């Protein structure tokens, strides 16, 4: 390991083995960093490349992600959060299925790069360390960057196009071929049920203060939780292959052209309703902070890019449920953040105890802003549908 440059790094919320040497005695942060860094380097070496530098990559709330610089080409290393993904092998099997399906299409049809899977020196897709943690490696897409906020309308249209292209590429892939890596994920009624179960639990020794705004907002609008699942049960929306987490920072933009070249973080690819994807992408891109609000212009550009790609297979019901999907996802995410806050922040990483509470409040404020613009949003969707239908009729 001579000559190795290492960026010390450890998440605030790590497993107990990194922050305790024995009950009641905390080890130093420096020692915790060294322990974590040793694990990262050891895992990186399992993929057969001489490690030169390790640095944290991205700001995901679930997995720990690192950029590994080597003497040849860099790669991405991830420690899969087994509390969230109990069977990492299913994630990798899905990614394999995805890559094989896309490889069958002609080059002209493909406008997105999907990261390649890198095998270990023992030809395995996942490495399990001595602590039971699972690691996987993917190719690094060079000269690309992710965005945390939309800075130009063109970026929003690009995001919509990329998500639509992803759905179009996988529109003929049988969703039953994929594992459900997160059972219950993006099933809003189930999140609502879990929230009420948490409320019904006995108060702990250190009770968390409930928030009146969040509790009242959930109670007032809980009926919308069934919007998409109800449509699925009626046969109005059908199960397809979804990304599962198409927030803005999972799109990679080419640093030179400014165009999106990849959609990453594919752990949540699974069978589901594409409307959950659409709603989540719109939520992520159109969320305005300080004060919290919904940017209709960004939404218009994003939907234009998206619908241009999917118009050929979009049905009347698909169009009809666009607005309910856009309204639903911030409501769903607000429930998830608030429930996690009530349970002591077990799922989403936090840097301070009330961070998930504030996240929940922000999502509910965003939902309010969307509902205040309901008529305008529905007119926008109708206009885009008419424009695309006219274009297809004249083509």
Q: Enumerate the β-bridge partners of residue 69.
A: 53
| pLDDT, greater one: 207 or 71 | 71
Given a cut of 70, whether residue 206 has pLDDT beyond it is no
DSSP helix/strand/coil, 365 = helix
Given a cut of 90, whether residue 86 has pLDDT beyond it is no
Q: Can you give the pLDDT at residue 175?
A: 97
User: How confident is the model over 270-287, as pLDDT tens digits?
Assistant: 999 999 999 999 999 999
User: How confident is the model over 232-254, as pLDDT tens digits?
Assistant: 999 999 999 999 999 999 999 99
pLDDT tier at 54 (50, 70, 90 boundaries)? Answer: confident
pLDDT tier at 22 (50, 70, 90 boundaries)? Answer: very low
Given a cut of 60, whether residue 11 has pLDDT beyond it is no
| Beta-sheet strands, E only, within 226-337 | 240-242, 251-254, 260-263, 270-272, 287-288, 293-294
Domains and CATH numbers, the chain: 5-98+116-140 (3.30.200.20), 145-394 (3.90.1200.10)
Given a cut of 70, whether residue 185 has pLDDT beyond it is yes
Given a cut of 90, whether residue 58 has pLDDT beyond it is no
Q: Can you give the pLDDT at residue 29?
A: 54
Residues 6 or more apart from 166 whose CB is under 8 A from it?
A: 112, 243, 246, 263
CA angle 321, 324, 328 (to 5 degrees): 135
Alpha helices, H only, 259-315: 274-286, 296-310
Mean pLDDT of the region 127-140: 90
| pLDDT, greater one: 319 or 31 | 319
Judging by DSSP bridges, how do beta strands 127-128 and 240-242 pair with one another?
unpaired
Name residue, tokens 């009950």. 23
**Are 135 and 54 in contact, with CB atoms under 8 Å apart?**
no
**Are 211 and 357 in contact, with CB atoms under 8 Å apart?**
yes
Mean pLDDT of the region 125-146: 91
Neighbours of 142 (CB within 10 A): 10
d(CA 350, CA 361): 15
Q: Can you give the pLDDT at residue 83?
A: 78
Q: Can you give the pLDDT at residue 10?
A: 31
Q: Can you give the pLDDT at residue 9?
A: 32
Mean pLDDT of the region 45-64: 81
């Amino acid at each position: 390991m001579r000559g190795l440059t290492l960026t010390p790094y450890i998440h605030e919320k790590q497993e107990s083995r990194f922050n305790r040497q024995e009950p009641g005695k905390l080890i130093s942060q420096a020692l915790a960093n060294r322990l974590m860094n040793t694990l990262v380097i050891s895992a990186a070496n399992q993929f057969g490349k001489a490690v030169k530098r390790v640095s944290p990559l991205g700001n995901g709330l679930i997995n720990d992600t690192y950029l590994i610089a080597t003497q040849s080409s860099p790669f991405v290393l991830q420690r899969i959060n087994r509390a969230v993904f109990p069977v990492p092998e299913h994630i990798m099997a899905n990614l394999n299925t995805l890559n094989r399906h896309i490889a069958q299409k002609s080059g002209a049809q493909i406008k997105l790069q999907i990261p390649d899977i890198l095998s270990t020196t023992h030809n395995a897709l996942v490495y399990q360390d001595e602590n039971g943690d699972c690691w996987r490696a993917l190719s690094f897409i060079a000269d690309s960057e992710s965005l945390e906020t939309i800075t130009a309308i063109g970026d929003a249209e690009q995001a919509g196009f990329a998500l639509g292209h992803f759905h179009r590429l996988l529109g003929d892939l049988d969703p039953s071929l994929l594992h459900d890596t997160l059972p219950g994920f993006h099933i809003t009624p189930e999140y609502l049920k879990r929230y009420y179960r948490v409320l019904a639990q006995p108060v702990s020794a250190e009770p968390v203060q409930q928030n009146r705004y969040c509790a009242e907002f959930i109670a007032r609008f809980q009926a919308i939780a069934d919007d998409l699942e109800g449509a699925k049960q009626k046969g109005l929306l059908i199960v397809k292959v979804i990304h599962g987490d198409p927030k803005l920072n999972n799109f990679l933009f080419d640093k030179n052209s400014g165009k999106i070249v990849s959609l990453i973080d594919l752990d949540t690819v699974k069978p589901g309703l594409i409307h959950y994807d659409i709603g989540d992408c719109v939520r992520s891109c159109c969320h305005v902070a300080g004060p919290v609000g919904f940017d209709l212009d960004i939404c218009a550009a994003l939907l234009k890019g998206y619908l241009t790609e999917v118009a050929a297979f979009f049905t009347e019901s698909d169009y009809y449920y666009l607005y309910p999907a856009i309204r639903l996802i911030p409501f769903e995410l607000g429930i998830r953040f608030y429930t996690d806050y009530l349970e002591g922040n077990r799922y989403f990483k936090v840097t301070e105890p009330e961070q998930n509470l504030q996240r929940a409040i922000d999502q509910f404020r965003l939902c309010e802003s969307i509902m205040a613009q309901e008529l305008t949003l529905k007119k926008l969707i109708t206009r885009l549908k008419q424009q695309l239908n006219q274009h297809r009729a004249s083509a």
